[in-house]
Structure 1
């Protein structure tokens, strides 16, 4: 059977297994991948090289799949093939939800959902497969499986190929985070020398009808600034004797969301501005008391921004927001006093902004280790309630503030999980240069052979597990600013910083071509993905594992 035919067969088998991110169904996909690999003759002979690895302390008891193909002539040179096995939910498919994982049947009915012009053109062309997970990213998993199958039958390379299929990438990347200690163990105990990592995420068009294809020499980073707002309570009849937590949150949002000052730039590329992922007050029941507490967290993409620089910018935004809120209250108070011909009491409040680390140190100076025990017990209960990591992070700050002796209105800055370090190929390190040469050679040959334009971009902007192939010097030197304010050390999110510091793996995001990730019009281009991409991968593997 030809590579293209095997790829299609494996892809359709994988798409049929939903594996919705953040649910235990991800294990169905892991088991399916394990099952397919276990039938390959190499793994029948070498079962020790195919493992279902349980992720430590994962509340969903998920697994990642690892498979190693070793050359006949032993070598420490090792290439990683990586992809995530989870997909997002399918509510957007409406009445066709049951067909979302069946591309063969979906193609005949997808137009019932209404297709915009370009999607309709792609459907009519017959060169696209529609369905959830086709592009993001079951094709990448199928590609890696079939590459393992191919190279397990060959003797013309020297080294090791590791395949990692990880869950949770669409949520908190628990799978890749769980795999980092495994990779470090192979490096330390078996002496594996990682010469590169290829993440098989599909490339995306930059503009409608984009005919070019892309490989990415790095991956955008992501942090989640989390703000906790403590106001000053009052009855609604006394508005000018209070500070609404919602007003503080609104002012931060006004100054921070879409703020291009936070559009990080590197290598001529610019990341999008921050966006609010959640903003809420923490009032649980109705009353006429104004909301005392609120919280919000934001998606912030980084390319080269240091954690230290980021924290200083966030402090300034919060200080300006607090000042603006107080000015707004005072201005309204003056106008109201004239309208009502009365004199209202004055607020005696100054802007107060603290990092979570500063707040925690103040509380621990009063309560000592007893507070740690108290917080541990609460977190354990919240985890039992199956609260998400971000909600628990908010509760951690609130509980810490509740124990803070100086109850003044304030804004507390922390970071919620997940955290993705920005990664890019280092143009000076020898291993990185060799990896880049291999990529250049492969895409040049594929471009000429298949008459297609393949361009190099410096960053994959869709966020990927390539972030966890090491820490850049900037990340490594200033990471304490971030980690000391990361509200994750005691919850279902383990950021193995020490292991990451041991890794410096050059990597790239190279995959098929897809469109409309996370939409019902998600689709995978057949001709490029099945004909061109396998050639690119084979050339890179041979270049690195000669």
Structure 2
């Protein structure tokens, strides 16, 4: 990367942001695998980091992706971790502009020109933003390489200071856009890292981006916690029949559809965000188990749901989910009976009084040792495939059902992906110190940086904060027992899995990430954000901090 002879905090942040963005790192590609070693080499070549310790940490055996770590020592043991992910979503959505997707200046100019005749609200706003010169486009520039760049600018200033208080640890991780394998690996290795290097890790600052379609007031935020995310899943087993004789069976697709209708926006699964309702649940995927066309009704169907939580534990979420599935099935049976009563025949409904709900773990408990061994072999084979995690969980659940020798209709519930647990700053001294530092800096922001900055209870998006922050690690047990692909595909231990360090988020803001209109507000990102991060770190690390 081209370096200026004399650099400021702002110019360093801009240089690193452009340089990181130009290096492609789409999740699951060779670019993501190459990015870690490339970044480590760049850090070693940076003059400001000549006395820093830089190393890489492989995510897993033969994984090919790396976390990139850098330690800058000042005085004492007190340490703040600056972290964020470097992987991005794909670039094919840019169409003809894809060659420019990771070249911010060229892409911004091209997008501005292409939006002259735009009539969609989002495109009109983007054209206005680019015309004003306050926004810069680029895949990954907002989400979230500019956050990493701001962290690196702060690290450089720290490294060039004379005997700064404390230490800064920087870790960039892969895979956040998929299963957060990088953050999970980093969180697990932190205790050993700190012990080996004699560090007292006081706080983590995640550097992820915030979206704001307005004036930026919702983007200029220090988030003191993060929302959690679960993916409850319902695998429905029906009684298939020829579609010419539908009363002789129970359609798994119809049962799954009834569950989907009951759970969509269900208040029972909408956690409170402070005194306000949080984001309601929503269906993320629904499909039957048929592999081709025929005139038989589906034997199985599978539905997954996005459920966000702020303080609610996974066990409570699954309890509520089970109840709603049972209620939906009961209502469907009642409605089907009403519809056929006029025909004076009920078919299978005469024998089906209710549709039982089983958890995946109770299904496993029914299996004898030979069936368990067969299931483990199938699970390992499925894990070796390249299907997404929810699909792997569906296939394993259906295999477990077959081995159980139970008869439908039935509903098997569980989870279809890794959990993102909610984090909140606790009442512990280190967390109180971090909260105080964040509030102080936010209160002084208008006078110091010319921007109003506020503290929010929660980071609105899903982020790696879930693995670094203070979360209920015991919650992982019920998720693991009911996630079919946990052992072979998730490969995440149930103890010492989370860092459990007080964690906040301070990142850039912009608009429309994960779309071709992804753009960054440059004034805040380069002029204000690095100062915020620097000043929060300084308050945490000062010797008289309490």
TM over 0.5, shorter chain: yes
Aligned mates of 2:233, 2:19 — CA distance in 1:
40
2:131 aligned counterpart, secondary structure: helix
1:323 aligned counterpart, secondary structure: helix
Given candidates 9, 15, 23, the residue that maps to 2:15 is 9
User: Hey, what does 1:144 align to over in structure 2?
Assistant: 151
Aligned mates of 2:346, 2:335 — CA distance in 1:
17
Partner deviation per Cα, 1:343-363 (whole Å, 9 max, x = no partner): 856541122101111111012
2:295 aligned counterpart, secondary structure: coil
TM-superposed CA distance for 1:217, in Å, is 0.6
User: Hey, what does 2:96 align to over in structure 1?
Assistant: 95
Partner deviation per Cα, 1:288-346 (whole Å, 9 max, x = no partner): 111101111111111011223212211111111111222233223224x26xxx78565
User: Hey, what does 2:398 align to over in structure 1?
Assistant: 398
1:504 aligned counterpart, secondary structure: coil
Aligned residue pairs, count:
528
TM-superposed CA distance for 1:80, in Å, is 0.7
Aligned mates of 1:541, 1:31 — CA distance in 2:
27
**Does the CA contact (< 8 Å) of 1:82 and 1:199 recur in 2?**
yes
User: Hey, what does 2:359 align to over in structure 1?
Assistant: 355
With over 3 angstroms needed to count, the CA separation of the structure-2 counterparts of 1:183 and 1:270, relative to structure 1, is: farther
Aligned mates of 1:195, 1:529 — CA distance in 2:
25
Residues 16-165 of structure 1 mapped to structure 2, 5 A cutoff: 16-41=22-47, 44-45=50-51, 49-57=53-61, 60-71=63-74, 73=75, 75-111=76-112, 112=114, 114=118, 116-165=123-172
1:226 aligned counterpart, secondary structure: strand
Matched, 1:429 2:435: no
**Does the CA contact (< 8 Å) of 2:151 and 2:533 recur in 1?**
no
TM-superposed CA distance for 1:412, in Å, is 0.5
TM-superposed CA distance for 1:152, in Å, is 1.8
Where structure 2 has 5 or more consecutive residues not aligned to the other structure, the ranges are: 1-6
**Does the CA contact (< 8 Å) of 1:216 and 1:460 recur in 2?**
yes
Where structure 1 has 5 or more consecutive residues not aligned to the other structure, the ranges are: none
2:305 aligned counterpart, secondary structure: strand
TM normalised by structure 1 equals 0.92
Deviates more, 1:483-492 or 1:216-225: 483-492
Deviates more, 1:527-536 or 1:486-495: 486-495
Matched, 1:322 2:329: yes
TM-superposed CA distance for 1:470, in Å, is 4.3
**Does the CA contact (< 8 Å) of 1:14 and 1:32 recur in 2?**
no
TM-superposed CA distance for 1:487, in Å, is 2.6
Aligned mates of 1:410, 1:99 — CA distance in 2:
51
**Does the CA contact (< 8 Å) of 2:470 and 2:502 recur in 1?**
no
**Does the CA contact (< 8 Å) of 2:228 and 2:462 recur in 1?**
yes
Aligned mates of 1:482, 1:456 — CA distance in 2:
31
Given candidates 230, 249, 255, the residue that maps to 1:248 is 255
With over 3 angstroms needed to count, the CA separation of the structure-2 counterparts of 1:270 and 1:38, relative to structure 1, is: farther
Aligned mates of 1:291, 1:519 — CA distance in 2:
36
**Does the CA contact (< 8 Å) of 1:417 and 1:487 recur in 2?**
no
User: Hey, what does 1:221 align to over in structure 2?
Assistant: 228
User: Hey, what does 2:419 align to over in structure 1?
Assistant: 419
Aligned mates of 2:384, 2:414 — CA distance in 1:
23
User: Hey, what does 2:445 align to over in structure 1?
Assistant: 446
TM normalised by structure 2 equals 0.92
With over 3 angstroms needed to count, the CA separation of the structure-2 counterparts of 1:188 and 1:498, relative to structure 1, is: farther
User: Hey, what does 1:513 align to over in structure 2?
Assistant: 509
Residues 281-300 of structure 1 mapped to structure 2, 5 A cutoff: 281-300=288-307
Partner deviation per Cα, 1:17-75 (whole Å, 9 max, x = no partner): 221123332123223321221113465445xx3112111257x521111111111x3x2
